């Protein structure tokens, strides 16, 4: 460990920043946010530095650096582009035993700044010992993505009741157990939902009952895992995935996403596909009820979005009947993910003014849809679970008014590393599907917006999958 990690209280303490440009502004602003009294010394100041003079604790000194500027200072930062000046600041501060940092010059520093993540009174620091600051910032971004902002509110609540908890529980172990039950239980979840007053009331009740045990009542999380790419998960989905004791997941959840759940969680596969049900929906409902009533935190992990052809509504109804608390976390539905990754906007002023989502596989195993409403010009039609009925879909859309040359895209394994797209029209798409060996899971997209695929997926947009995972298996047939 080259540097000893230390957090320093600089509230109302005098600090010096040498320099008058953008970097000096950022450093001075950070010190001011920490409550310091900041003097900024430089012969000239940028406009943004000049704005700081209006802050009560900020003083501008329009002079070149002089060692006299160090009088009564507890911390010094040099942020000039003149190495000789930076070196003078470093040596003068070091001689005076004042901590000094010269920006981007580790050899002229007695301390360095970490990349920080702030959540209210909670501060997380990432340090690369000054050797890889960009990597430190990247790691900070990853930490930002998995720690909800509401943790700051949770820390504020703990700060507010710390003395009260100490007076109620004289035993250290009891206090520890109490706070663990707060941070991992219903109170924390209530804060994450934005219900701060309710969370405080629950904590007061818990204190009054002198309880430091975890709640025994379980909860169910109906979470949308998105179409396949783990980077499309929401922050909330990831947090609940890492809290759940039991994970009940379906066939469309990729192994990469399943790996993000808790390692020690019990995992139950209930995958379903057309004409084959590994576990009937009624049994899935029973599993959710059974584990939640035993006090477990149950994650129902679904491909796409729980409420878009995901039967999340049916599961939620059963939970309501049994008075079991639950949360629903939206996921990026396959249509949005597939169209974006393939360069097919679902709406476009020149091609489509509306988009319709429909399932091609109904509860009675038919494909009997409102074809007249679906066969409308100027709209994009997205059909889920319709590959087995592709011949019927193409025939009915043309017989109800859509031209045979209307473009059709089949998108297999949307957003995944093995994503494949085959393009034809209503007259050719069944043949194209056979030629390209398109299999489920696959979406059917119908509409003129498909004409934008080649342009938007190649020349004019980034390719996240190609950059992150290698080349896509893209196939196109006229």
Active site residues: 250, 272
User: CB-based burial of residue 322 (10 Å sphere; 0-12 exposed, 13-18 middle, 19+ buried)?
Assistant: exposed
Round to whole Å and give the CA distance between 160 and 191. 15
User: CB-based burial of residue 81 (10 Å sphere; 0-12 exposed, 13-18 middle, 19+ buried)?
Assistant: exposed
Is the separation of the CB atoms in 474 and 457 below 8 Å?
A: yes
Q: Please list the residues that pair with 252 across neighbouring strands.
A: none
Round to whole Å and give the CA distance between 444 and 383. 5
Longest dimension (CA), the chain: 89
Is the separation of the CB atoms in 381 and 450 below 8 Å?
A: no
Q: What are phi and psi of 160, to 5 degrees?
A: -65, -35
In terms of C-beta distances under 8 Å and separation of at least 24 residues, what long-range contacts does 463-472 make, across chains too?
464/229, 464/231, 464/341, 465/229, 465/341, 465/415, 465/416, 465/417, 465/419, 468/229, 468/231, 469/417, 470/417, 472/417, 472/419, 472/420
Q: Which two tokens stand for residue 84?
A: 């000789």
Laid out side by side, the sheet with 379-384 consists of: 354-359, 379-384, 442-446, 407-412, 420-425, 473-474
CA separation, residue 85 to residues 47, 59, 60 (Å) = 22, 20, 18
Is the separation of the CB atoms in 261 and 301 below 8 Å?
A: yes
Unique residue bearing structure tokens 């000046």:
85
Q: Which two tokens stand for residue 120?
A: 């209210």
User: CB-based burial of residue 241 (10 Å sphere; 0-12 exposed, 13-18 middle, 19+ buried)?
Assistant: buried
Helix (H, G, I), strand (E, B) or coil at 187: helix
């Amino acid at each position: 460990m080259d540097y000893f990690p230390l957090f320093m209280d600089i509230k109302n303490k005098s600090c010096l920043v040498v320099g008058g440009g953008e970097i000096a502004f950022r450093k001075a602003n950070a010190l001011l946010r920490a409550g310091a009294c900041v003097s900024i010394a430089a012969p000239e100041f940028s406009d943004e530095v000049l704005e700081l003079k209006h802050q009560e604790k900020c003083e501008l000194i329009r002079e070149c650096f002089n060692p006299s500027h160090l009088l009564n200072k507890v911390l010094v930062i040099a942020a000039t582009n003149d190495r000789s000046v930076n070196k003078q600041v470093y040596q003068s501060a070091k001689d005076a035993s004042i901590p000094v940092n010269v920006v981007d010059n580790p050899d002229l520093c007695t301390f360095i700044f970490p990349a920080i993540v702030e959540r209210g009174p909670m501060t997380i620091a990432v340090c690369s010992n000054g050797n890889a600051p960009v990597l430190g910032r990247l790691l900070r971004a990853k930490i930002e993505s998995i720690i909800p902002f509401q943790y700051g509110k949770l820390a504020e609540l703990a700060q507010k009741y710390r003395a009260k908890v100490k007076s109620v529980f004289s035993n250290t172990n009891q206090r520890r157990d109490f706070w663990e039950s707060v941070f991992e239980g219903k109170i924390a979840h209530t804060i994450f939902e934005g219900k701060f007053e309710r969370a405080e009331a629950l904590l007061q009740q818990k204190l009054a009952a002198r309880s430091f045990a975890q709640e025994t009542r379980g909860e169910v999380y109906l979470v949308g895992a998105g179409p396949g790419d783990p980077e499309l998960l929401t922050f909330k989905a990831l947090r609940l995935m890492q809290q759940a004791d039991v994970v009940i997941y379906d066939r469309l959840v990729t192994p990469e996403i399943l790996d993000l759940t808790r390692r020690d969680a019990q995992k139950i596969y209930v995958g379903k596909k057309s004409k084959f049900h590994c576990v009937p929906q009624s049994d899935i409902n029973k599993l959710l009820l059974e584990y939640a009533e035993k006090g477990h935190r149950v994650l129902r992990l679904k491909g796409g979005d729980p409420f878009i052809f995901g039967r999340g509504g049916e599961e939620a109804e059963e939970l309501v009947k049994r008075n079991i608390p639950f949360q629903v976390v939206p996921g990026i539905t396959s249509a949005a993910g597939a169209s974006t990754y393939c360069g097919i906007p679902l709406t476009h002023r020149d091609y489509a003014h509306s988009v319709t989502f429909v399932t091609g596989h109904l509860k009675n195993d038919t494909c009997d849809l409102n074809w007249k409403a679906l066969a409308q010009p100027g709209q994009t039609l997205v059909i889920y679970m319709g590959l087995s009925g592709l011949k019927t879909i193409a025939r009915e859309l043309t017989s109800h008014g859509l031209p045979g040359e209307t473009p059709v895209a089949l998108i297999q394994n949307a957003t995944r590393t093995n994503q494949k797209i085959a393009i034809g029209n209503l007259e050719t798409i069944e043949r194209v599907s056979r030629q390209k060996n398109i299999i489920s899971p696959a979406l059917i997209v119908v509409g003129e917006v498909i004409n934008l695929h080649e342009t938007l997926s190649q020349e004019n947009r980034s390719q996240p999958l190609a950059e992150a995972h290698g080349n896509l298996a893209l196939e196109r047939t006229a």
